[in-house]
Amino acid sequence: MTAGLVLDGLDVRTDSSESRGTPLLDGVSLSVGPGEFVALVGGSGSGKTLTAMSCLRLLPPRLAITGGSIRLGDLDLTRAAEQELNSARGGRLGMLFQQPGRMFNPNRTVGHHLREPLRLHAGLRGVGARSRALELLAEVGFPDPARGLRAYPHQLSGGMAQRAMTAVALAGQPEMLLADEPTSALDKVLERQILQLLDRERRERGLGILYITHNIASVAAYADRVLVMSAGSIVEEGVTSELLARPRNPYTRELLTAARLAPESRRRQPSTEREILVLDEVGKSFPAPRGKRHTALEDVSLSLRRGEILGILGQSGSGKSTLAKAVVGLESVDTGSITRSPDGAGGDRITAVQLVFQEPHSAFDPRMTLRTSLRAPLHARRELTPRERDDRISAAMEEVDLDESLLERHPGQCSGGQLQRATIARALLLEPRILICDEATSALDALSQRTILNLLLRLQREHHLSLVVISHDMDVVRYMCDRVAVILQGRVVEVAQTRDFFATPLHPHSRTLVAASIPCRAEGLWAALHAPGLVRAPDGKASRDEA
């Protein structure tokens, strides 16, 4: 039996001649045995991903391993030749990346990406490779594996792309898997499905897993041990149940506190304000292979009132992002209508509706400074002088608590939390009345997430904004929203006040979402909830029993 993965005193520094460079990883030591599930937890910039990339010897330019060792069984990865590394990568040592959109070749289908590790590491070709690829896609939750094989990365939602990446990572039958935030973009149902799949792999064939996450709660039921990382060092480690019940390090306690989003304390009475956004039987479909059409939205009817926060819940691929793009005018609709009247004049001001994107790094041109990117939406405002445009940008940066000096940086020089605030600042420049937040905090650690959510709540109160919060995170919706709408396969199946929804979810899919969001109570930190019965409406939607 192999000894698993062992890091001993790993140092990574910037490749500089001055004082051997700036330390980014400082004496990191950890081990993952065969069949063991170890969670590496920490905030953005703590060094988690850098640790995984060091194991693969795929460090960014100007970074170097300057001390310590990394061993995979009998193979010393820090000294291995390139040929040995290529044999281990994707084979003995699998990697599940956080952002599949950046990892896939956009010119290759999912089937092509799967065939490569199956050929190189499992020795499968032709019919055998196709059969195994279909099995893998089915295991990770593709409803139509054959269609998934033919799909290109850009044709997949973020959640579906992450499922495909999971299949690729498992295709090489690794003995050790590095999983870097693999479920941060997934809904709770799919997150549990992926975790159960990985758990089965480690129990049945001894797969060792180093699971990198910013959310301790998501892996509490699966991890044997937890390592907490801060500023490039391991600050605390222990058996999962003991560490969660009795954290010793202040940073660990801070992470745990931030991970438990309590419901917002503000009053949530049904709004009596006028409607400023109305969707009436909206439908949207896209071309599919063999002349067919894929229905993304079907007969969607929703409304948003002035000053209201509406949550849109749904699994990956349910149509949430298509709905967001349609509302802001980035997608046309095939049927129905969308009426925007932010000023109550019955007009249709698209500029009064702005979108906060899910992935901040993809929302900015990497070649431009933040100042240049923020100037772009103001070009249409010809009545503003250059000085007035700069003043408005400075005011927007102040609104989101960002230092104005960041405007001279490029996106790659900013953290995820800083960039997400910058996307909000850019959305505020055109003085919108409605903000559409599409998974705006899914890629952030718990501390950054709470900061951004509280920022959005403050802006909503101060500017009397209306928010549409699109999310798969039940805790975010419970914390933020006045009302909740649930989307399943492009259709709205339930709309309710937030408190009513979480107390008595009525549609079977809603019950599944609520149940999946309840962590295992083995840790003794969260109590399981009991979901009451259903009342079915004749049209198939869930309705509340008024009696």
pLDDT at 264: 56
Spell out the alpha helix ranges (H) of 140-187: 145-150, 158-171
User: H or E segment at 493?
Assistant: strand 491-497
Higher pLDDT, 338 or 523: 338
| Residue-wise burial string across 265-299, b where 16 or more C-beta atoms lie within 10 A, e elsewhere | eeebeebeeeebbebeebbbbeeeeeeeeeebbbe
Strands 93-96 and 491-497: unpaired
Q: Are residues 74 and 208 in the same domain?
A: yes
Q: Are residues 347 and 240 in the same domain?
A: no
Look at residue 493 and tell me whether its pLDDT is greater than 80.
yes
Domain at 286, CATH number: 3.40.50.300
Tell me, yes or no, whether 534 lies in a domain. Answer: no
Give the C-alpha distances (Å, rounded to integers) separating 436 from 10, 217, 353, 358, 468.
43, 27, 7, 10, 5
Tell me, yes or no, whether 142 lies in a domain. Answer: yes
Among candidates 120, 114, 27, which has minimal Cα distance to 65? 27
Among candidates 255, 251, 179, 172, which has minimal Cα distance to 213? 179
Report d(CA 314, CA 318) in Å as an integer.
6
Tokens encoding 124: 């499968």
Tell me, yes or no, whether 530 lies in a domain. Answer: no
Report d(CA 175, CA 75) in Å as an integer.
13
Q: Are residues 126 and 60 in the same domain?
A: no
Sign (positive/negative) of CA torsion 526, 527, 528, 529?
negative
Q: Are residues 300 and 192 in the same domain?
A: no
Look at residue 376 and tell me whether its pLDDT is greater than 50.
yes
Q: Are residues 158 and 302 in the same domain?
A: no
Q: What residue has token string 């490039």? A: 232
Tokens encoding 532: 């009451």
Tokens encoding 402: 């960002």
**Which range (119-123, 342-346, 399-403, 416-420) has the least confidence?**
342-346
Count of CB atoms situated within 10 Å of the CB of 521: 12
As a three-state string, the secondary structure of 174-195 is: CCEEEEECCCCCCCHHHHHHHH
| Residue-wise burial string across 321-349, b where 16 or more C-beta atoms lie within 10 A, e elsewhere | bbbbbbbbeebebeebebebbbeeeeeee
Look at residue 99 and tell me whether its pLDDT is greater than 90.
no
Q: Are residues 245 and 368 in the same domain?
A: no
Higher pLDDT, 270 or 268: 270
| Bridge partner residues of 453 (DSSP) | none
Report d(CA 349, CA 119) in Å as an integer.
54
Tell me, yes or no, whether 113 lies in a domain. Answer: yes
Given pLDDT bands bounded at 50, 70 and 90, which one contains residue 342?
A: low
Which of residues 116, 147, 173 is at a domain's end?
Answer: 173
Q: Are residues 232 and 356 in the same domain?
A: no
Q: Are residues 291 and 357 in the same domain?
A: yes
Tell me, yes or no, whether 265 lies in a domain. Answer: no
Tell me, yes or no, whether 80 lies in a domain. Answer: yes
| pTM of the shown model | 0.71
Q: What residue has token string 């797969």? A: 207
User: H or E segment at 421?
Assistant: helix 416-428
Q: Are residues 186 and 169 in the same domain?
A: no
Q: How many helices (H) and strands (E) does the chain have?
A: 20, 19
Q: Are residues 111 and 182 in the same domain?
A: no
Look at residue 445 and tell me whether its pLDDT is greater than 80.
no
Q: Are residues 336 and 283 in the same domain?
A: yes
Give the C-alpha distances (Å, rounded to integers) separating 288 from 141, 291, 296, 389.
20, 6, 11, 43
Question: In this prediction, what percent of the chain has a pLDDT beyond 90?
Answer: 35
Q: With 0-12 CB in 10 A as exposed, 13-18 as middle and 19+ as buried, what is 308?
A: buried
Look at residue 300 and tell me whether its pLDDT is greater than 80.
yes
pLDDT at 344: 52
Strands in 293-305's sheet, in edge-to-edge order, are 293-305, 275-287, 335-340
Tell me, yes or no, whether 543 lies in a domain. Answer: no
Look at residue 294 and tell me whether its pLDDT is greater than 50.
yes
**Which range (122-131, 220-229, 262-271, 471-480) has the least confidence?**
262-271
Strands 5-14 and 23-32: antiparallel
Which of residues 259, 293, 322 is at a domain's end?
Answer: 259
Number of domains in the chain: 3
Q: Are residues 460 and 501 in the same domain?
A: yes
Given pLDDT bands bounded at 50, 70 and 90, which one contains residue 15?
A: low
Look at residue 343 and tell me whether its pLDDT is greater than 70.
no
HSE, side-chain direction, 13 A CA sphere, residue 498? 25
Q: What is the average pLDDT score of the chain?
A: 83
Tell me, yes or no, whether 544 lies in a domain. Answer: no
pLDDT at 101: 67
Give the C-alpha distances (Å, rounded to integers) separating 423 from 358, 433, 441, 484, 539.
10, 16, 12, 24, 40
The whole domain housing 492 covers 275-523
